[in-house]
Structure 1
Amino acid sequence: MSGWEAGLDDEEAGAVMRTVARQLKLWREAAGLTQPEFGAAIGYGEELVSSVERGRRIPRPEYLDAADEVCGAGGKIAALKQDVAEVRYPKKVRDLKKLEAEAVELGAYNNSVVHGLLQTMEYARAVFSARRPPFTPDELEQRLSARVARQEIVSDTAVRPVFSFVQCESTLRRPIGGRTVMRGQLERLLEIAKFPNVDLQVLPLGHEENSGLAGSFRLLRLKDGTTVGHVEVQHISRVIADPKEVQLLDMRYGTIRAQALSPRESMALIEKVLGET
């Protein structure tokens, strides 16, 4: 097994992992096993066992299941899967996922790629693979898992949160991942556009007015009534809470939605682009 690297500069994840590592070591010692013996019993190498017990590697669910069985923990070790489920993702992803979970309304404008909550696995893989310097295979899989986990809030049976997405037409025509990947992505957009709590609009390249030239952003209206913004560029991910800045983003998003096609017209344009792909 290739373990997940723990973010040592991530205080929240570090606290969780120290607790998990301590518990795993105590259970192993209580079972009377050395690290080499324990590794052999659960099917993993001694080096990985040592890394996990030092909090340097995040154990995968199958590691915890095997440890539970070997130590006779009766589900107590396996229960740790819930504790490590979130910290295996980068902190900025966890923070964004928490915000999305607290949102009753989410609006987003994207002019570079299809919004992360709308991406297919193949499209997301192509987006992450384009990064330079490239992610390691483990980092790539970690980010794909995180993206899939965030997408759970978008469902055809949910009524909350309410979603509003505006995609620049360029994101529909940019062949990320190639023809087959883009066909799957466009089909996915048409599917999500039919969800009862989703409004999906396209801002055509042929429109002279475009108030989104400054870049992609999102707005999240939370359960307590407050609204926050979020912008991400290059390696910077920033949550905007200042009321004046949020108000500017809110006004801009309203203008962008007015400049975009209606949801029905947008579906027709997506279908047109799909037919050309």
Structure 2
Amino acid sequence: MSGWETGLDDEEAGAVMRTVARQLKVWREAAGLTQAELAEAIGYGEDLVGAVERGRRIPRPEYLDAADRALGAGGKIAAMKRDVAEVRYPKKVRDLKRLEAEAVELGAYNNSVIQGLLQTEAYARAVLSARRPPFTTDQLEQQVAARVARQEIVNDRAGRAAFSFVQCESTLRRPIGGRMVMRGQLERLLEVAAFHNVDLQVLPLSREENSGLDGSFRLLRLRDGTAAGHVEVAHISRVITEPKEVQLLDIQYGIIRAQALSPRESLALIEKVRGET
């Protein structure tokens, strides 16, 4: 994959890419190279070089590095990697990532797949590959990279955010991607559950009561004292800011956590399922 398409309705990405494209063209013309000659020099197709200069394709970091060397830009082209880093991901992912970055507390319940912030790359690829209608190869790579990039906020370093996750037991037993992918995913859950700022719980299938049957959702408490919710169904992603709606999600999440196993009991169940996988 040598580049990603920019969304036609993504004004932010479009503005950044027009600036980057203009700079790349100026450097190429100053070096006296045609698009074909630059393409040969950096090892990419002429069509891609043209698409990047028209702002229709988002160059990967290695493309910018190669162009910087070929055009003798002394790091000035490579420095634009920071400018394109965020806009390479879909707008709804960027918006969600910004919201997550503002959270001091994040809670999530999932009953269909493992929460995106906890997914391994292999598991995420399997989940996204199951989408219908399917993503193109380029779109799939873009979506996987975006999901992995969001996970940087969940770590075991001293941080400002506290996380709680509740997974329905069905998500542990659904062999998405096959046995090896699922085993790796379960091991990732055990790893994250050991972080000092993470509580991971499992809602067993044996429970007679499950207040999360209507679907997955998330709650975020932000630095400014406000709260927001997030729900995603099929192709619809919605951020909820209406206080009454957020309050309902908060109440629902509290009930779900009470219905779930304790973190210690949940770890034992995850380890048991991993042993069976």
Q: Which residue of 1 aligns with 2:4?
A: 4
TM-score normalised by the chain length of structure 2: 0.97
Q: Secondary structure in 2 aligned to 1:106?
A: strand
Does residue 76 in structure 1 map to residue 76 in structure 2?
Answer: yes
Q: Distance in 1 between matches of 2:238 and 2:249?
A: 13
Q: Which residue of 2 aligns with 1:260?
A: 260
Q: Secondary structure in 2 aligned to 1:104?
A: strand
Larger deviation, residues 41-50 vs 230-239: 41-50
Larger deviation, residues 30-39 vs 215-224: 30-39
Does residue 271 in structure 1 map to residue 271 in structure 2?
Answer: yes
Q: Distance in 2 between matches of 1:158 and 1:125?
A: 29
Look up the equivalent residue of 1:37 and give its one-letter code: E
Q: Which residue of 1 aligns with 2:155?
A: 155
Q: Which residue of 1 aligns with 2:244?
A: 244
Q: Distance in 2 between matches of 1:36 and 1:123?
A: 39
Q: Distance in 1 between matches of 2:2 and 2:31?
A: 25
Q: How does 1:5-24 map to 2 (within 5 A)?
A: 5-24=5-24
Contact kept, 8 Å, 2:2 with 2:63, in 1: the verdict is no
Look up the equivalent residue of 1:188 and give its one-letter code: R
Q: Secondary structure in 2 aligned to 1:229?
A: strand
**1:123-168 superposed Cα distances (whole Å, 9 cap, x missing partner):** 1111111111222221111111111111111112233210000001
CA deviation after TM superposition for structure 1 residue 36, in Å: 1.7
CA deviation after TM superposition for structure 1 residue 191, in Å: 1.1
Q: Which residue of 1 aligns with 2:55?
A: 55
Q: Distance in 1 between matches of 2:145 and 2:190?
A: 23
Q: Distance in 2 between matches of 1:11 and 1:241?
A: 23
User: How much identity, in percent, do the aligned residues show?
Assistant: 83
Q: Which residue of 2 aligns with 1:97?
A: 97
Contact kept, 8 Å, 1:159 with 1:196, in 2: the verdict is no
CA deviation after TM superposition for structure 1 residue 175, in Å: 1.1
Unaligned runs of 5+ in 1: none
Does residue 135 in structure 1 map to residue 135 in structure 2?
Answer: yes
Q: Distance in 1 between matches of 2:159 and 2:20?
A: 36
Contact kept, 8 Å, 2:119 with 2:185, in 1: the verdict is yes
Q: Which residue of 1 aligns with 2:209?
A: 209
**1:210-235 superposed Cα distances (whole Å, 9 cap, x missing partner):** 11111000011111111000000100
Q: Secondary structure in 2 aligned to 1:228?
A: strand
Contact kept, 8 Å, 2:2 with 2:60, in 1: the verdict is no
Look up the equivalent residue of 1:24 and give its one-letter code: L
CA deviation after TM superposition for structure 1 residue 64, in Å: 0.8
Q: Distance in 2 between matches of 1:174 and 1:257?
A: 21
Q: Distance in 1 between matches of 2:247 and 2:48?
A: 49
**1:157-197 superposed Cα distances (whole Å, 9 cap, x missing partner):** 23321000000111011111111111111111111111000
Q: Secondary structure in 2 aligned to 1:267?
A: helix
